[in-house]
Protein backbone atom coordinates (compact mmCIF):
# COMPACT_ATOMS: atom_id res chain seq x y z
CA UNK A 1 0.00 0.00 0.00
CA UNK A 2 2.26 2.79 -1.21
CA UNK A 3 0.38 6.12 -0.96
CA UNK A 4 -0.20 7.85 -4.28
CA UNK A 5 -0.10 11.41 -2.91
CA UNK A 6 1.94 11.48 0.30
CA UNK A 7 5.30 13.11 -0.34
CA UNK A 8 4.37 13.76 -3.97
CA UNK A 9 3.21 16.80 -5.91
CA UNK A 10 -0.48 16.24 -6.54
CA UNK A 11 -3.07 18.19 -8.48
CA UNK A 12 -6.74 18.53 -7.60
CA UNK A 13 -8.69 15.69 -9.23
CA UNK A 14 -11.12 16.71 -11.96
CA UNK A 15 -14.02 14.98 -10.18
CA UNK A 16 -14.78 12.94 -7.06
CA UNK A 17 -14.92 9.82 -9.24
CA UNK A 18 -11.39 10.51 -10.55
CA UNK A 19 -9.99 11.05 -7.06
CA UNK A 20 -7.80 8.30 -5.62
CA UNK A 21 -8.08 7.80 -1.87
CA UNK A 22 -5.05 6.26 -0.19
CA UNK A 23 -5.29 4.00 2.84
CA UNK A 24 -2.43 3.02 5.12
CA UNK A 25 -2.23 0.35 7.83
CA UNK A 26 -3.96 1.15 11.11
CA UNK A 27 -1.12 1.86 13.59
CA UNK A 28 -3.29 0.77 16.55
CA UNK A 29 -4.95 -2.35 15.18
CA UNK A 30 -7.20 -3.97 17.78
CA UNK A 31 -7.90 -0.72 19.64
CA UNK A 32 -11.28 1.01 19.52
CA UNK A 33 -10.61 4.68 18.90
CA UNK A 34 -12.21 7.55 17.03
CA UNK A 35 -10.66 9.49 14.14
CA UNK A 36 -12.29 12.82 13.30
CA UNK A 37 -11.85 15.04 10.26
CA UNK A 38 -13.45 18.49 10.48
CA UNK A 39 -13.86 20.20 7.11
CA UNK A 40 -15.24 23.70 7.81
CA UNK A 41 -14.84 25.03 4.25
CA UNK A 42 -16.28 22.29 2.03
CA UNK A 43 -17.73 23.48 -1.28
CA UNK A 44 -19.68 21.97 -4.14
CA UNK A 45 -22.03 23.30 -6.80
CA UNK A 46 -25.82 23.38 -6.92
CA UNK A 47 -26.86 20.99 -9.71
CA UNK A 48 -29.69 23.33 -10.77
CA UNK A 49 -28.18 26.83 -10.63
CA UNK A 50 -24.45 26.05 -10.73
CA UNK A 51 -23.91 28.39 -7.78
CA UNK A 52 -21.57 27.34 -4.96
CA UNK A 53 -22.84 25.56 -1.87
CA UNK A 54 -20.87 25.61 1.38
CA UNK A 55 -20.81 23.15 4.26
CA UNK A 56 -19.01 22.22 7.43
CA UNK A 57 -18.44 18.47 7.26
CA UNK A 58 -17.47 16.29 10.22
CA UNK A 59 -16.32 12.75 9.45
CA UNK A 60 -15.91 10.36 12.40
CA UNK A 61 -14.74 6.77 12.06
CA UNK A 62 -13.39 3.82 14.01
CA UNK A 63 -10.56 2.29 11.98
CA UNK A 64 -10.50 -1.32 10.90
CA UNK A 65 -7.33 -2.57 9.20
CA UNK A 66 -6.60 0.80 7.55
CA UNK A 67 -6.88 4.55 8.03
CA UNK A 68 -7.41 7.10 5.27
CA UNK A 69 -4.34 9.15 4.37
CA UNK A 70 -5.24 12.81 5.00
CA UNK A 71 -3.68 14.38 1.89
CA UNK A 72 -5.64 12.07 -0.40
CA UNK A 73 -8.80 12.86 1.61
CA UNK A 74 -8.18 16.61 1.19
CA UNK A 75 -7.76 16.17 -2.57
CA UNK A 76 -10.91 14.03 -2.77
CA UNK A 77 -12.95 16.58 -0.84
CA UNK A 78 -11.46 19.43 -2.89
CA UNK A 79 -12.61 17.72 -6.09
CA UNK A 80 -16.20 18.55 -5.13
CA UNK A 81 -15.47 22.24 -5.75
CA UNK A 82 -16.58 21.89 -9.38
CA UNK A 83 -18.97 18.96 -8.81
CA UNK A 84 -22.70 19.58 -9.14
CA UNK A 85 -24.80 17.55 -6.69
CA UNK A 86 -27.44 18.05 -4.04
CA UNK A 87 -26.36 18.29 -0.39
CA UNK A 88 -27.75 14.84 0.37
CA UNK A 89 -25.82 13.23 -2.49
CA UNK A 90 -22.52 14.88 -1.53
CA UNK A 91 -22.76 14.05 2.18
CA UNK A 92 -24.00 10.48 1.91
CA UNK A 93 -21.77 9.75 -1.09
CA UNK A 94 -18.63 10.81 0.77
CA UNK A 95 -19.55 8.66 3.76
CA UNK A 96 -20.42 5.63 1.65
CA UNK A 97 -17.27 5.83 -0.47
CA UNK A 98 -15.04 6.00 2.61
CA UNK A 99 -16.95 3.15 4.25
CA UNK A 100 -16.89 0.91 1.18
CA UNK A 101 -13.20 1.44 0.40
CA UNK A 102 -11.62 1.78 3.85
CA UNK A 103 -13.89 -0.76 5.59
CA UNK A 104 -13.77 0.88 9.03
CA UNK A 105 -15.50 -0.70 12.01
CA UNK A 106 -17.89 2.27 12.00
CA UNK A 107 -18.28 5.61 10.23
CA UNK A 108 -20.56 8.63 10.42
CA UNK A 109 -20.64 11.93 8.57
CA UNK A 110 -22.45 15.13 9.43
CA UNK A 111 -22.98 17.67 6.66
CA UNK A 112 -23.92 21.06 8.10
CA UNK A 113 -24.85 23.06 4.99
CA UNK A 114 -25.11 26.82 5.00
CA UNK A 115 -28.47 28.28 3.95
CA UNK A 116 -29.50 28.68 0.35
CA UNK A 117 -32.89 30.24 -0.16
CA UNK A 118 -33.13 30.83 3.60
CA UNK A 119 -33.09 27.15 4.59
CA UNK A 120 -30.04 25.37 6.04
CA UNK A 121 -29.97 21.66 5.21
CA UNK A 122 -28.14 19.30 7.55
CA UNK A 123 -27.49 15.75 6.33
CA UNK A 124 -26.34 12.86 8.52
CA UNK A 125 -25.33 9.28 7.66
CA UNK A 126 -23.75 6.47 9.61
CA UNK A 127 -22.83 2.92 8.75
CA UNK A 128 -24.47 1.35 11.85
CA UNK A 129 -24.81 1.96 15.58
CA UNK A 130 -21.47 3.05 17.09
CA UNK A 131 -19.44 0.50 19.05
CA UNK A 132 -20.60 0.29 22.66
CA UNK A 133 -17.16 1.05 24.13
CA UNK A 134 -16.48 4.09 21.91
CA UNK A 135 -16.01 7.57 23.36
CA UNK A 136 -18.11 9.56 20.90
CA UNK A 137 -18.00 13.33 21.46
CA UNK A 138 -20.60 15.65 19.95
CA UNK A 139 -19.62 16.85 16.48
CA UNK A 140 -19.38 20.38 17.87
CA UNK A 141 -21.14 22.26 15.07
CA UNK A 142 -23.65 24.79 16.35
CA UNK A 143 -27.09 24.78 14.76
CA UNK A 144 -27.71 27.62 12.35
CA UNK A 145 -28.97 30.74 14.15
CA UNK A 146 -29.23 33.32 11.40
CA UNK A 147 -28.25 36.82 12.38
CA UNK A 148 -27.59 36.79 16.05
Q: Is 90 a catalytic residue?
A: no
What CA–CA distances, in Å, run from 51 to 48, 66, 106, 120? Answer: 8, 36, 33, 15
Which one from 22, 53, 60, 90 is the annotated catalytic residue? 53
Partners of 96 in the β-ladder: none
Report the alpha-carbon distance of residue 99 to residue 107 in Å, rounded: 7
Q: Is 65 a catalytic residue?
A: no
Which one from 46, 122, 133, 138 is the annotated catalytic residue? 46
Helix H or strand E segment including 55: strand 52-62
DSSP three-state, residue 61: strand
Report the alpha-carbon distance of residue 58 to residue 77 in Å, rounded: 12
Q: How many residues does the chain have?
A: 148
Partners of 62 in the β-ladder: 106
Please give the positions annotated as active site: 46, 53
Amino acid sequence: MTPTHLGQTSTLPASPEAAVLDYVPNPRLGQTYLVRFAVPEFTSLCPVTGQPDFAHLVIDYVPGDTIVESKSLKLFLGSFRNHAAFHEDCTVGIGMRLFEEMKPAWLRIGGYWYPRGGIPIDVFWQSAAPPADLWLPDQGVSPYRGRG
